Amino acid sequence: MPESNPVRVSSADAPRFIRSLTDERRRAGECRRAKEQASGTPTGSAAAGSATAGSATTGSATTGSATTGSAAARRTFIVAIDGRSGAGKTTLAGKLEKELREEGIAVAAIEVESFIGGWNGLIDGVEAVAAQILEPVRSRGRATARMWDWNRGAWAEEVRIPPSGPVDVLILTGCGAASAPCRPFVDLAVWVELDEKRRRERVARREGDPGRWWRMWAEQEDLLPRSGEPDVVVD
């Protein structure tokens, strides 16, 4: 895990806590951008009040009521949920998506692993996710990217992100979601912590014995560049 001094919360409390922090930072950011627009000052950094910049079903989206304030003051708020394989990232993302949807927030969730080129593609794939998905979503509210078909071991169709158009919140979950390439576009960085024994047991229950790919993937996780600290650690 990155060296950090973030807020630590339990897995039981994490969905509600992260939803509350998301609400707080979104409102602060909208107010700041509205003031900057009114004064003619260029819009500032990613997240107002953010200490640092750092499955839901792939491509799933839920639309709700629009956020109050002018359209110019709004933009997609990006939450990154990172952690080692089997840590519980996807489960947390699904619960957070539900929390936001129940508030009437337009939210979509995608997984890093849907857009990387196979077992050896994590590092290059994370860089592509940052450039091809996060940057356009941050600047224009939408992006297009090709998905990886894990069954065929080949690139598949190009998809729109979010599939139903711009949303208030995009949840990016997966290994490397809050790594250095993605971090400049992330408003709220979450790290999900779990020991290796329990992580491997979870993966084995979900997908069968991970075999040699476990070490191959772990080596790439170790090499992912990190920048700054997560805002929240879930353990």
Q: What is the per-residue DSSP string for 196-207?
A: HHHHHHHHHHHH
Q: How far apart are CA 63 and CA 15, in angstroms?
A: 19
pLDDT of residue 88: 96
Which of the residue ranges 61-75, 109-123, 182-196, 197-211 would you say has the lowest mean pLDDT? 61-75
In a domain, residue 25? The reply is yes
In a domain, residue 157? The reply is yes
In a domain, residue 69? The reply is yes
pLDDT digits (tens, 9 = 90+) for 128-170: 999 999 999 999 999 999 999 999 999 999 999 999 999 999 9
pLDDT of residue 33: 84
With cut-offs at 50, 70 and 90, classify the pLDDT of residue 41: low
In a domain, residue 203? The reply is yes
With cut-offs at 50, 70 and 90, classify the pLDDT of residue 32: confident
Mean pLDDT of 71-75: 61
The number of folded domains in the chain is 1
158 touches 127 (CB < 8 A): no
In a domain, residue 88? The reply is yes
Instruction: Give yes or no for residue 54 having a pLDDT over 50.
Output: no
Instruction: Give yes or no for residue 49 having a pLDDT over 50.
Output: no
- CATH assignment at residue 170: 3.40.50.300
Domain region containing 38? 10-228
In a domain, residue 210? The reply is yes
Residue scoring higher pLDDT (211 or 89): 89
pTM (two decimals): 0.84
In a domain, residue 98? The reply is yes
pLDDT of residue 123: 96
Q: How far apart are CA 86 and CA 234, in angstroms?
A: 13
User: Phi and psi (nearest 5°) for 152?
Assistant: -90, -20
Instruction: Give yes or no for residue 176 having a pLDDT over 90.
Output: yes
pLDDT of residue 51: 38
Pair type for strands 7-9 and 169-173: unpaired
Which one, of 56, 27, 54, lies nearest residue 228 by Cα?
54
Q: How far apart are CA 227 and CA 170, in angstroms?
A: 21
pLDDT of residue 42: 60
pLDDT of residue 62: 44
pLDDT of residue 2: 44
In a domain, residue 82? The reply is yes
